[in-house]
Amino acid sequence: MFPTPIAKTSRAWQISYQALLPVALVLWLLPLLAVALFSIKPDADFTNGNYWGWPSSFEGVTNYRKVFFESDMPRYLLNSVMITVPTVLGAVALSAMTGFALGIYKFRSNLPIFFLFIAGNFVPFQILMVPVRDLTVNMGLYDTKLGLVLFHIAFQTGFCTLFMRNFIRTLPYPLIEAARVEGVAEWRIFWYVVMPLMKPALAALSVLIFTFIWNDYFWAVVLTQGPDSQPATAGITAFNSQFRAAYHLMSAGSIVAALPPVLMFFLMQKHFIAGLTLGAVK
């Protein structure tokens, strides 16, 4: 193990390490602690210039009530869910299929197609912006959740294919050969042999894509406008113009909007990290 395990070092360093950990953590998370603090402060603290000090009273309940009952935030959150969930399902389904095709079969254009997916996934969004916006407008899907979902599914398929294909490559190939010898149809091999083994990959991709799409801001601004279909990320900025300089409400709103991926991460941490490392780092 590197660095030297703490148990093998001097007593003094052991104690200082244990003391250092919480201090480092607080420093690292200082910006977040600040928003959390802001969100329970009363309005008066900001007008009095008491930004970072102890709250003069605790208004957490009032502030969060306002966010939930007197703003558009719940609508934005609902939109986010209705954009994110179908995208996750669509992208994972499509890429399970493409990953299967590229991971199992040998044909001449296999590698070029695989690299096409990877390359497309790295492309800057701006090179797609004008044509995709134009396409969405022409399909009558501008400012709809469906328009966003379709694009997200397509774009995420690139990354998901990379992930799925690499995962399928690690499965034992004799299993598939055995099934073929038995005369099992190819699509049945996909459904009954490969799919059950892909559960960890499916879980990892789902959490990861959920976070990516929930946090997307650029496409939300390009393809939608207004509370009818914009997700929470775009909602926060609108929210800010509604409550200009009302830091307590802005922070409460931001926390609410940022929470779902955070929960997702803490609940499915193992899968999440497996996804982030692209399965390449074991």
Partner 1 sequence: MASQATDPDRRGWYRRNEIAVTPWLFLLPGLIFFAIYVIIPIFQSFWISFHEWDGLGEKEWVGLANYERLLGGDRKFETSFWNNVKWLLLYLLAIPMGLFIALFLNQTVFGIRIYKSLFFFPFVISQVVVGLVFSWFYLPNNGLFDVMTGWFGIDIRGGVLGNPDTATYGIIAAGLWPQTAYCMILYLTGLNAVDPEQVEAARLDGAKGHKMLWYVILPQLKPATFIAFVVTIIGALRSFDFIAVMTNGGPFGSTRVLSFYMFEESLSEFGFRMGYGAAIAVVLFFLMLIFICYFLYAMWRDEREAR
DSSP 100: H
Name the H helices within 105-191.
Answer: 110-122, 126-138, 145-169, 173-181, 186-188
Min dist CB 199 to partner 1, Å, is 19
Q: What angle do CA 18, 24, 25 make, to 5 degrees?
A: 95
Q: Applying CB under 8 A, which part among 57-65, 66-74, 154-162, 198-206 lies near partner 1?
A: 154-162
Q: Applying CB under 8 A, which part among 56-64, 69-77, 196-204, 269-277 lies near partner 1?
A: 269-277
Q: Which helix (H) or strand (E) segment is 247 a member of?
A: helix 247-267
Min dist CB 219 to partner 1, Å, is 10
Q: Does 159 sit near partner 1 (CB under 8 A)?
A: no
Identify residues 50-69 at the interface with partner 1 (CB under 8 A): 51-52
Q: List the one residue from 19, 123, 175, 267 that touches partner 1 (CB under 8 A).
A: 123
Q: Which helix (H) or strand (E) segment is 115 a member of?
A: helix 110-122
How many CB atoms within 10 Å of residue 63? 24
The string over 102-112, giving b where at least 16 C-beta atoms fall within 10 Å of a residue's C-beta and e elsewhere, is bbbeeeeeeee
Closest CB to partner 1 among 13 and 58? Answer: 13
DSSP 191: I
Identify residues 203-262 at the interface with partner 1 (CB under 8 A): 211, 214-215, 217-218, 221-222, 233, 236-237, 240, 247, 250-251, 254, 257-258, 261-262
Give, rounded to a whole angstrom, the gap between the first and last alpha carbons of the chain: 16
Identify residues 6-35 at the interface with partner 1 (CB under 8 A): 6-7, 17-18, 21, 24-25, 28-32, 34-35
Min dist CB 192 to partner 1, Å, is 15
